[in-house]
Amino acid sequence: MEIKIGCTGWSYQGWSGTFYPKNLKNSEWLKYYSQIFSITEINSTFYKIPSQEIVRRWNASTPRHFRFTAKFPSIITHEKRLEKVNSEVFSFLTSLIPIHEKISALVLQLPPSLSFEEAKPRLEELFDILPADFAYPIEGRHESWFTDEALNYLKQKKHCLVWNAVEG
């Protein structure tokens, strides 16, 4: 098993002068980051589907062996709660074409109010249209995701549950 270490993003102003050299331009941060870490999460995709131009820059800034994970946009997971999302999913996947070979996983971060029972039939429909090229970890935040039924379902479908523990 290959282990990759990275952070949930690379574009944090607070890292300038601490992680990044103080005089390094923001546009060079990903290139610098990718020389130290082997993977990063693209958190910005949760808020907006990126343009292919931006994604091409991410690709050009990273070596061939570098990997990305990306969050599904909130319009899919939170606003539409996984219902009738085919066009949004298509737009999201199309935007990522320039880094297709570098994607390890596309994360479904679900709202805390979305239970396993409510999400399950919607996930079935979603997984029917998603390409098999990537892993699709699910960050289910409703308590029903931490049951034997939900965990067995994810195991059967070869998906995993992401648990984000944050202090405070």
Look up the CATH architecture of domain 6-156. Answer: Alpha-Beta Barrel (3.20)
Instruction: State CA 29 to chain mean position distance.
Output: 19
Q: Indicate the pLDDT class of residue 164, thresholds 50, 70 and 90.
A: confident
What is the per-residue pLDDT across 79-120, written as a single tens digit (0 to 9) for each? 999 999 999 999 999 999 999 999 999 999 999 999 999 999
What digits encode the pLDDT tens for the residues 14-41? 999 999 999 999 999 999 999 999 999 9
How far is 115 from 137, CA to CA, in rounded Å? 16
66 contacts 34 by C-beta, under 8 angstroms: yes
Q: How far is CA 4 from the centre of its chain?
A: 15
Nearest-5° Cα angle at 58, 57 to 61? 85
pTM exceeding 0.75? yes
Q: Which residues contact 52 (CB under 8 A, 6 or more apart)?
A: 94, 95, 97, 98
Tell me how far apart the terminal alpha carbons of the chain are, to the nearest angstrom: 33
Question: Which of 101, 11, 85, 7 has its CA nearest to residue 49?
Answer: 85
